């Protein structure tokens, strides 16, 4: 097994992100702070386990979104995203 | 939904009985060795691999793969504890004691903390005292075989008396500081120290 | 209204198992009744949470297999031999049992008729489950969007909903299914007998000029190989959506 087996799509973090965001997070658009690539959170490469989820740019592996539910608190780091855009719910 | 119990569900855990107090509070025994990763496995060319000790030291040092392998080896046999609640008993890791590496670099008296950093960008912070006195290693063998890449090979930090996220995989060095500097998970709600016997899992514990 | 619906779906609720049906030797479908279910889109999943007597909890995500149908939701679970949750769901649970879940979850890997097509659905093993929800919704709404399902399984015994898929394909609504059986084939099998590759995608799917919407789901390795092949064949990366299930299975 290698890391390629372990990674999944940002969609896999939808439940955890949904605990924080009122709007559907995996449909949000991010601009990668590493390479400038624009894409939806659902299309980021996700590494998820019991500590939290790290969503990385498929182009340059920059951690665009980091989220953890640590002891009942949600911690969010969006510094890897130059911007995050939520469109209104349809 | 407090109070709901799934009829007949036990989970895969092994009960802690018979382990004579080796299992810290809130942990369960796991026979496997789960792989938790925050990113892709770095591919490291051993010819380029270095381990560095820098920051508040009298002599910043770097070792090549051959040089670190030539240091007196030592082996840890014991238990490891992950903050996600699994404990694995009777693991064996072989490498070099961090004491040897720190002694060569000579920490300055003001050095109180360190940040371990890894190929791939991972970091974790520790008090210097938790890296000294036979409590930490840089290891390259697990259970008698080369440390697999998914478990941190070619070499990882091993600090088994703290939660295992402190045992940085793919370690590339220690930077000594005079203050604590939260690393990858510590800046996302996890405890700066991480003592499993005090259940120091999260920021406010 | 949208905000409230969003907050509702992240609440843990107790669902009642109406039926547990063995689909294949390893797959079990759980028909659930979920009071207050806000509805879902094909492709979405739900989170299941199991709690042991001592408070230990395990949580997993499962794709919804059924088309939207009021408060009825079906998940189809593959029992993994070394699994912690799947042997319970696909072996222990029966009609009348309660299951804690939340959902629906996920806004990225979804299809509904308004998104159009033509539609290419590529499934590896248990990855067919969310695509079945799409196929079933396509049929239930009488959609005429041309839809093609390319479905890889190890053997005929592992194929989910084979009879249903054949019936839908024969119904003349623009739905076609192509199977590939990679390990074992029944006598007289004249279909594909290898892993999905660029040649198969060219023969079975639509050409890039048709600008299909593509949904690929299955083990991570398979999904990445197929997604890469599609882009190399000239398909628009922005019209290829993936749902990796991680290491083999879900």
The string of pLDDT tens digits covering residues C118-177 is: 999 999 999 999 999 999 999 999 999 999 999 999 999 999 999 999 999 999 889 999
Left, alpha or beta for C193 (phi > 0: left; psi -120 to 50: alpha)?
Answer: alpha
pLDDT reported for residue A50 = 93
Residue B84 to chain A, least CA–CA distance (Å)? 6
Which chain A residues contact residue B40 at CB under 8 A? 3-4, 7, 56, 61
Residue C88 to residue B6, Cβ atoms within 8 A: yes
> For chain B, which chains pass the contact test of at least 3 CB pairs under 8 Å?
A, C
CA distances from A67 to A76, B110, B173, C185 (A): 5, 34, 26, 45
Closest-CA residue to B187 (of A12, A9, A51): A51
Give me the average pLDDT of each 10-residue run along chain B (205 residues). 86 70 92 94 96 98 98 98 96 98 98 98 98 98 97 98 98 98 98 98 94
Residue C10 to residue A89, Cβ atoms within 8 A: no
Q: What is the C-alpha separation between B186 and B200, in angstroms, rounded?
A: 11
Residue B150 to residue A66, Cβ atoms within 8 A: no
pLDDT reported for residue C4 = 43
pLDDT reported for residue B64 = 98
pTM of the model: 0.91
pLDDT tens digit sequence for A68-77: 999 999 999 9
pLDDT reported for residue C3 = 42
Q: Which of B1, B4, B13 sits opposite C56 (nearest CB)?
A: B13
Contact C121, C73 (CB under 8 A): no
Q: Which of C14, C52, C88 sits opposite B1 (nearest CB)?
A: C14
**Position A4 pLDDT exceeds 70:** no
Contact A75, A68 (CB under 8 A): yes
Residue A8 to residue C246, Cβ atoms within 8 A: yes
> For chain C, which chains pass the contact test of at least 3 CB pairs under 8 Å?
A, B
Give chain B's domains with CATH numbers: 28-34+49-198 (3.90.420.10)
A26 reaches C (C-beta below 8 A):
yes
pLDDT reported for residue B41 = 94
Which chain B residues contact residue A52 at CB under 8 A? 185, 188-189
DSSP symbols for chain B: -TT---TT---SPBP-TTSTT-SPTT-EE-SS-----SSPPP---TTT-EEEEEESBSS-EEEEHHHHHTSPEEEEEEEEE-TTSEEEEEEEEEEEEHHHHHHHH-B-TT--EEEEEETTS-EEEEEGGGTSSS--EEEEEETTEEPPGGGTTT-EEE-TTS-GGGS-TTEEEEEEESS----TTGGGTB-SS--GGGT--BTT-
Contacts 24+ apart (CB under 8 A), C211-214: C211/C236, C211/C239, C212/C117, C212/C118, C212/C119, C212/C120, C212/C239, C213/C111, C213/C115, C213/C116, C213/C117, C213/C118, C213/C119, C213/C120, C213/C239, C213/C241, C214/C119, C214/C120, C214/C121, C214/C122, C214/C239, C214/C240, C214/C241
Nearest CA in chain B to A64: B39
Give chain C's domains with CATH numbers: 2-104 (2.40.30.10), 113-244 (3.40.50.80)
Q: Are strands A73-77 and A63-70 parallel, antiparallel or unpaired?
A: antiparallel
**Position C250 pLDDT exceeds 90:** no
- CA angle centred on C209, ends C207 and C213, rounded to 5°: 75
The average pLDDT across C200-207 equals 94
Mutate to test the interface with B, among A51, A56, A72 (most CBs of B within 10 A): A51
**Position C2 pLDDT exceeds 70:** no
DSSP symbols for C181-227: ESS---TT--SB-S---HHHHHHHS--GGG--EEEEEESHHHHHHHH
Mutate to test the interface with B, among A3, A7, A74 (most CBs of B within 10 A): A3
Task: Provide the ipTM.
Answer: 0.93
A54 reaches B (C-beta below 8 A):
yes
Residue A22 to residue C219, Cβ atoms within 8 A: no
Contact B47, B101 (CB under 8 A): no
**Position C5 pLDDT exceeds 50:** no
| Residues of chain B that touch chain C, judged by Cβ-Cβ distance less than 8 Å | 1, 4-13, 28
Q: What is the C-alpha separation between C199 and C141, in angstroms, rounded?
A: 32
pLDDT reported for residue A22 = 85
pLDDT reported for residue A2 = 57
User: What pLDDT band is residue C7 in, cutting at 50, 70 and 90?
Assistant: low
Show the tokens assigned to B189.
């709600």
Closest-CA residue to B76 (of B154, B140, B27, B163): B140
Which residue's structure tokens are 């053997």? C155
Residue B4 to chain C, least CA–CA distance (Å)? 7
Left, alpha or beta for B11 (phi > 0: left; psi -120 to 50: alpha)?
Answer: left
pLDDT reported for residue A71 = 92
Contact A68, B189 (CB under 8 A): yes
pLDDT reported for residue C9 = 58
pLDDT reported for residue C172 = 83
| Residue A23 three-state SS | coil
pLDDT reported for residue A53 = 97
The average pLDDT across C11-34 equals 96
Which chain A residues contact residue C220 at CB under 8 A? 4-8
C20 reaches B (C-beta below 8 A):
no
C84 reaches B (C-beta below 8 A):
yes
Residue B201 to residue A7, Cβ atoms within 8 A: no
C99 reaches B (C-beta below 8 A):
yes
pLDDT tens digit sequence for C86-122: 999 999 999 999 999 999 999 899 999 999 999 999 9
Q: Which of C107, C108, C247 sits opposite A6 (nearest CB)?
A: C247
DSSP symbols for B16-32: -TTSTT-SPTT-EE-SS
Residue B83 to residue A51, Cβ atoms within 8 A: yes
Residue A68 to residue B189, Cβ atoms within 8 A: yes
Residue C52 to residue B4, Cβ atoms within 8 A: no
Show the tokens assigned to C218.
């299955």
The average pLDDT across C39-67 equals 95
């Amino acid at each position: 097994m290698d890391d390629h087996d372990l990674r999944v799509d940002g969609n896999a973090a939808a439940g955890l992100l949904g605990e924080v965001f009122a709007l559907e997070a995996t449909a949000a658009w991010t601009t990668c702070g590493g390479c400038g690539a624009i894409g939806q959170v659902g299309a980021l490469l996700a590494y998820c386990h019991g500590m939290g989820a790290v969503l990385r740019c498929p182009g340059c592996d920059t951690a665009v979104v980091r989220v953890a539910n640590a002891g009942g608190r949600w911690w969010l780091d969006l510094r890897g995203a130059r911007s995050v855009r939520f469109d209104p719910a349809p | 939904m407090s109070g709901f119990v799934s009829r007949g569900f036990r989970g895969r855990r092994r009960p802690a009985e018979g382990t004579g107090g080796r299992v810290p509070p809130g942990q369960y025994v796991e026979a496997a060795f789960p792989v938790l990763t925050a990113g892709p496995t770095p591919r490291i060319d051993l010819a380029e691999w270095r381990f560095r000790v820098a920051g508040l030291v009298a002599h910043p040092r770097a070792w090549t793969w051959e040089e670190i392998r030539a240091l007196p080896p030592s082996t840890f046999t014991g238990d490891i504890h992950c903050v996600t609640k699994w404990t694995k008993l009777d693991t064996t890791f072989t490498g070099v004691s961090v004491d040897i590496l720190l002694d060569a670099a000579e920490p300055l008296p003001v050095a109180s903390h360190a940040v371990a950093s890894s190929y791939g960008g991972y970091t974790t912070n520790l008090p210097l005292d938790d890296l000294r006195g036979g409590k930490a290693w840089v290891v390259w063998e697990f259970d008698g075989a080369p440390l697999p890449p998914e478990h941190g090979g070619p070499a990882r930090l091993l600090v088994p008396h703290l939660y295992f996220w402190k045992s940085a995989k793919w370690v590339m060095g220690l930077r000594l500081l005079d203050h604590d500097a939260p690393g990858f998970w510590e800046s996302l709600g996890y405890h700066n120290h991480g003592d499993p016997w005090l259940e120091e899992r999260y920021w406010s514990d | 209204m949208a905000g409230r619906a969003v907050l509702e779906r992240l609440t843990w609720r107790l669902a009642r198992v109406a039926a547990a049906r063995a689909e294949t030797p390893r797959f079990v479908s759980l028909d659930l009744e979920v009071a207050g279910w806000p509805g879902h889109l094909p492709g979405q999943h739900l989170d299941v949470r199991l709690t042991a007597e001592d408070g230990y909890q395990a949580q997993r995500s499962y794709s919804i297999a059924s088309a939207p149908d009021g408060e009825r939701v079906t998940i189809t679970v593959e029992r993994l031999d070394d699994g912690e949750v799947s042997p319970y769901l696909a072996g222990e649970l029966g009609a009348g049992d309660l299951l804690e879940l939340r959902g629906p979850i996920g806004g990225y890997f979804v299809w509904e008729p308004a998104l159009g097509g033509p539609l290419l659905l590529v499934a590896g093993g248990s990855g067919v489950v969310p695509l079945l929800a799409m196929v079933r919704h396509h049929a239930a709404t009488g959609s005429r969007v041309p839809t093609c399902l390319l479905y890889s399984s190890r053997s005929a015994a592992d194929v989910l909903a084979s009879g249903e898929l054949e019936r839908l394909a024969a119904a003349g609504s623009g739905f076609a299914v192509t199977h590939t059986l990679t390990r074992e084939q029944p006598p007289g099998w004249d279909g594909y007998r290898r892993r999905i590759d660029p040649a198969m995608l060219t023969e079975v799917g639509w050409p890039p000029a048709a600008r299909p919407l593509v949904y690929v789901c299955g083990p991570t390795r398979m999904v990445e190989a197929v997604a890469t092949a599609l882009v190399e064949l000239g398909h628009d990366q922005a019209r290829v959506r993936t749902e990796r299930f991680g290491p083999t299975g879900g």
